[in-house]
Structure 1
């Protein structure tokens, strides 16, 4: 038989403990037992700022693509897999590859190099316009858009959601060889059905700028703006271009799609990607610009390098290595 006095004592003790816990939580609310804090599943707008002489460079993160190893040509599966393993990359579902653009304020011009994918591709892309505004600028302030080439992940972001000019005060500039190829109506007419949608995206990106008299073409080696020179980096596309920005003796080459896979192509520059129009030329261009960047020690900015995509190239063994910039305040 249970002792009623014992039960009463236990109940009284429990009540005292509960009362003390309540009193403690009132005195020390920060230590009170609370529900788990909900996770925040959004990333910050992707921009990173640095100085180049008197120029201000802002890297913009448009998003990412997943690249399957089958797209890479010129090395064995074992070489590709071992290179990725050394970089701690899991290629099971494809390797994440950033899509970057670059906004450069020269003091005289506000220049956007490449524009991201806009609404053309997946919902993992299309953030450049948002990032420009998050970085403190407006789309109306951009007066020049330089395209390294006309693939959709570089060109479609020049349009807004209605298919009109997203940068109403900007001149769209690109290499004449690039424009002559992609904007040629005969290319679309002769293309197989599975290629036509992509070609229409490319043509549509330039159309409203051309209609407004805001499309300007240049030839290899042109000084496209004060302190900005075109470098012919052909191969990935027929008129693929890089842009060398120079201020107070400091140089930054925005090189577009010279590299798609940082874990493989620096060590093995002979590796091409299926998207190359002319793989042989793309490989020769990559080897040449790697060697020049390593020798002259200028900064480079790549569309598909890990964000912010800015750094140096150095020699490593028989190949090269990527040395990214470190996060730092502006001087």
Structure 2
């Protein structure tokens, strides 16, 4: 007489101390995350966050204007510890007539951890050849290193940023920490210069319908943020305004050794945090945990990060 499933399971439990029940073959571990892209609609614009990967961010050695003990405490309060994995995010804007990529990730410059942006772009349904324009917030390796992968794009950034990183004398005067950043910047823009598709903008302001470049100096001399607007909705792609949110939101004066001007970086961060909170902008952040999309709010004297609610409903226009 056959046992029903109910009685079989009961017999299995009772016999467990004596002999194991039937088991299934163990499934192999994947050891990979899902493709790193996430989409939202901003009015008529489709915005896709793209992960280039994560890398250990050396909080204990590069954070300045905050003690290592205080930095570690803030991480602990956020249930984080060293080594801290930092995200590298870029953002693709489909305006309906153009495909515009803001920042390009590190490419091969950070090793195996990163350089995943193109694969994730493809997973999101696009090809590198389709990108019409690239807007760089700045020319650091993790924002410009992937630029050569887009053969048909026009490369745009502020003229002040281009002038600083493409001038040999500036490399000689820069801290040793940044010496290789000059070489990487030149390698990033060289294909665009050769093809006649390198077009820095001399003045901040509108670049495209619904897209405005804002000056955000301090982390680098010509650092730009980009305000995206459609149908009354606004999103700020702010680049490197914040590197480590659990530290720099409660302590906006905390800086990093990569900043070209600590004072300017502090002033720019204070200004944009205040504006983002007051105007309820969606913020697209390069180094806040992927997808790096959320709001800034002021609460009990400190700024906080409120990530956008995850949404798998169909991406449709309002």
Whether the 8 Å contact between 1:220 and 1:231 is mirrored in structure 2 is no
2:65 to 65, 71, 74: 74
Moved more, 313-322 or 229-238: 313-322
Tell me the alpha carbon deviations over residues 173-213 of structure 1, each in whole angstroms, 9 at most, x when there is no partner. 00000000001133345668775443211101001101111
Does the 8 Å contact 1:242/1:253 carry over to 2? Answer: yes
Deviation of the 1:303 alpha carbon = 0.4
Distance in 2 (CA, whole Å) between partners of 1:228 and 1:194 is: 33
Kindly state the Cα deviation for residue 77 of structure 1 after the two structures are TM-superposed: 3.1
CA contact (8 A) 1:220 1:232 kept: no
**TM-score, with normalisation over the residues of structure 2?**
0.88
Q: Does 1:48 align with 2:38?
A: yes
| 8 Å CA contact retained: 2:158, 2:204 | no
Give the Cα–Cα distance (whole angstroms) in 1 for the partners of residues 275 and 181 of structure 2: 34
Note the C-alpha offset of 1:232: 0.4
Aligned residue pair count = 294
Structure 2 residue 218 is matched with structure 1 residue 235:
yes
Matches within 5 A, 1:103-118: 103-118=92-107
Partner of 1:143: 132
Aligned residue for 1:265? Answer: 248
Distance 2:256 2:176 in 1: 22
Which residue is 1:316 aligned to?
Answer: 299
Task: Map Cα deviations across residues 105-125 of structure 1 (whole Å, 9 max, x no partner).
Answer: 011210000000001122101
Q: Decide whether the 8 Å contact of 1:267 with 1:316 is kept in 2.
A: no
Structure 1: distance between partners of 2:195 and 2:112: 29
CA positional deviation for 1:39: 1.2
Deviates more, 1:304-313 or 1:219-228: 219-228
Change (3 A) 1:135 1:267: same
* Match in the other structure for 1:210: 193
The answer to whether 1:303 aligns with 2:286 is yes
Unaligned runs of 5+ in 1: 1-20, 22-30, 160-165
- Structure 1 or 2, whichever has the larger Rg, is 1
Describe how 1:57-136 pairs up with structure 2 within 5 A.
Answer: 57-68=47-58, 69-91=60-82, 94-136=83-125
Q: Which moved more, 1:220-229 or 1:252-261?
A: 220-229
What is the match of residue 267 of structure 2?
A: 284
2:29: which partner in 1?
Answer: 39
Where do 1:158-177 residues align within 5 Å? 158-159=147-148, 166-177=149-160
Provide the aligned C-alpha RMSD in A.
1.8
Work out whether residues 178 and 258 of structure 2, in 8 Å CA contact, stay in contact via their aligned partners in 1: no
Tell me, yes or no, if the aligned pair for 1:269 and 1:319 is still in contact at 8 Å. no
CA distance in 2, matches of 1:213, 1:238: 24
Seen in structure 2, the aligned counterparts of structure 1 residues 208 and 315 have a Cα distance that, compared at 3 Å, is same
Tell me, what secondary structure is at the counterpart of 1:217?
coil
The Cα of 1:81 is off from its aligned counterpart by 2.0
Most deviating of 35-44 and 273-282: 35-44
